[in-house]
Amino acid sequence: MKSQFPFPTVIRLTYYLRALEFLLTQNKSETSSDELAKLTNLSPEQVRKDLAYFGSFGKRGKGYPLPKLYEKIKELIGINKEWRLCLIGLGNLGKAIVRFKGFPERKLRFYAIFENDPKKIGGEFQGIRIFDVNKLPEVARELSLDIAVFTIPDDQVDKVYELVRKTNIRGILNFTSAPLHSEKDLFVKNVSIAQELEIITFYLSK
Amino acid sequence: MKSQFPFPTVIRLTYYLRALEFLLTQNKSETSSDELAKLTNLSPEQVRKDLAYFGSFGKRGKGYPLPKLYEKIKELIGINKEWRLCLIGLGNLGKAIVRFKGFPERKLRFYAIFENDPKKIGGEFQGIRIFDVNKLPEVARELSLDIAVFTIPDDQVDKVYELVRKTNIRGILNFTSAPLHSEKDLFVKNVSIAQELEIITFYLSK
DNA sequence: CTTTGTGAACTTCTTCACAGCT
DNA sequence: AGCTGTGAAGAAGTTCACAAAG
């Protein structure tokens, strides 16, 4: 175990997670760096190095025990416990995300939706209550929210960000095209659909 | 001009694009690596190096001419011309993406939607015709589609991928959690919402 | 005197090659 | 013998420091 891992290792851990889930459906009980490498399109050395940053999970000459490695990686990624999410901005994208099937099996659960539209506030969507976004500090404390998903118009990002900073929320998944930056005690992941397409058009233009 | 640029430079170009758009709304006519660095949270050296990979756009002692640099970066990213998109899978996420406001101003336009639900096929959504996904090869040729956006269930990815390979489509934006890999003549960008959240939970778990 | 553009130094990440267990 | 785990080598990317140009 070496323990200071490169930043890209975290992303690859999520690939291993999916590969392991696939192998589990095949009722395998063992895997190898070679097999994981093929499934993830990485090199076997890379797989071994990544896993070794967090411990010695394998047996030399044998490979990695499957369910054990799977549990370990879930634990590393932190999806062995429940996370309490909220959605901010119930537009088209917000609705799509709340309905997204992949979350419950990952123990990611929405406990609140925030809106500034008086017609929506007080109602609910998919069984989740819709609160006034200005009540965010109180509601976040009451419901012990961990992570906020931003699906709001770009021009509201700064205001909502300041509201979130008043809470114990420590993670933001930001779908606006106004990028935010992580700070101590507040980790931000930006996802910009427009940006992803620009990366495609860049490569196609050559 | 040095021209073999690092991979992360492409991502940063999209940040510069947004920073330049912001500066243009301020009616500025000049900017500097320092100003761009502040707006993008990067270092001024990084900004200069990135821009220099593609040419000498600045004047020493002066800075970069704003509208000119903006046009140049749009050209580099390839959004100076129109791109013809299609959406595959008209679920919640698909609907959100088709309705997304940011695309028209980027000359990204949807020309077709593909579905396998007979109730949807033949109709239209937001003025865009809905075709049978099995007709993809013919329709893609007819409409000269460039880029496909995958918003389908994971278990249909392989099938749809094979259909896309029979066309002139050269870019895929894949929103499923089954990652695809780029090939020669087919550039793939994967966006997995579940993965983004896993990266957040990883960092919050420590 | 300011700000760009860029080799050189440095840092981070990946691949190699093999020692170490089973 | 077979596959993991890991220092060492190599590759990729960033920061430094300064020369060049307005």
- In chain A, the residue whose alpha carbon lies closest to the alpha carbon of B92 is A96
Query: Whole-angstrom Cα distance, residue B66 to residue B176?
Result: 38
pLDDT value of position B3: 67
Longest dimension (CA), chain B: 64
Coil, strand or helix at B193: helix
Q: Which residues are CB-contacts of B156 (< 8 A; sequence separation ≥ 6)?
A: B89, B116
Rounded to 10 deg, the angle between the A7-25 and A66-77 helix axes is: 140
Cβ(B98)–Cβ(B128) under 8 Å? yes
pLDDT digits (tens, 9 = 90+) for A185-202: 999 999 999 999 999 999
Shortest Cα distance from B5 to chain A (angstroms)?
Answer: 13
Considering only CA atoms, which of A88, A149, A91, A94 is closest in space to residue A113?
A88
Q: For residue B20, which amino acid is it?
A: L
Categorize the per-residue pLDDT at A206 as very low, low, confident or very high, splitting at 50, 70 and 90.
Answer: confident
Q: Is A7 exposed, middle or buried (0-12, 13-18, 19+ CB in 10 A)?
A: exposed
pLDDT value of position B1: 64
Using 50 as the pLDDT threshold, list the residues of chain B that sit under it: none
Triad B195, B200, B204: Cα angle to 5°: 145
pLDDT value of position A105: 79
Interface test with B, best of A40, A172, A197 (most B CBs within 10 A): A197
What's the whole-number average pLDDT of chain A? Answer: 95
Is the pLDDT confidence value at A88 over 90? yes
pLDDT value of position A1: 62
Q: Is the CB of A48 under 7 A from strand D?
A: yes
Query: Does the distance separating the beta carbons of A108 and B197 come in below 8 Å?
Result: yes
What value does the mean pLDDT take over residues A87-106?
A: 90
Percentage of residues in chain A having pLDDT higher than 70:
99
Considering only CA atoms, which of B119, B197, B11, B127 is closest in space to residue A175?
B197
Tell me which residues of chain A, numbers 7 to 36, contact chain B at a CB-CB cutoff of 8 Å: 10-11, 13-15, 17-18
Categorize the per-residue pLDDT at A3 as very low, low, confident or very high, splitting at 50, 70 and 90.
Answer: low
Across all strands, nucleotide nearest A34 (CA–C1'): D3
Coil, strand or helix at B79: coil
Shortest Cα distance from B13 to chain A (angstroms)?
Answer: 9
Query: Chain C positions under 7 Å from a protein CB?
Result: 1-7, 12-17, 19-22
pLDDT digits (tens, 9 = 90+) for A12-55: 999 999 999 999 999 999 999 999 999 999 999 999 999 999 99
pLDDT value of position B105: 80
Q: What is the pTM of this model?
A: 0.95
What value does the mean pLDDT take over residues A63-67?
A: 97
What value does the mean pLDDT take over residues A150-158?
A: 96
pLDDT digits (tens, 9 = 90+) for B46-55: 999 999 999 9
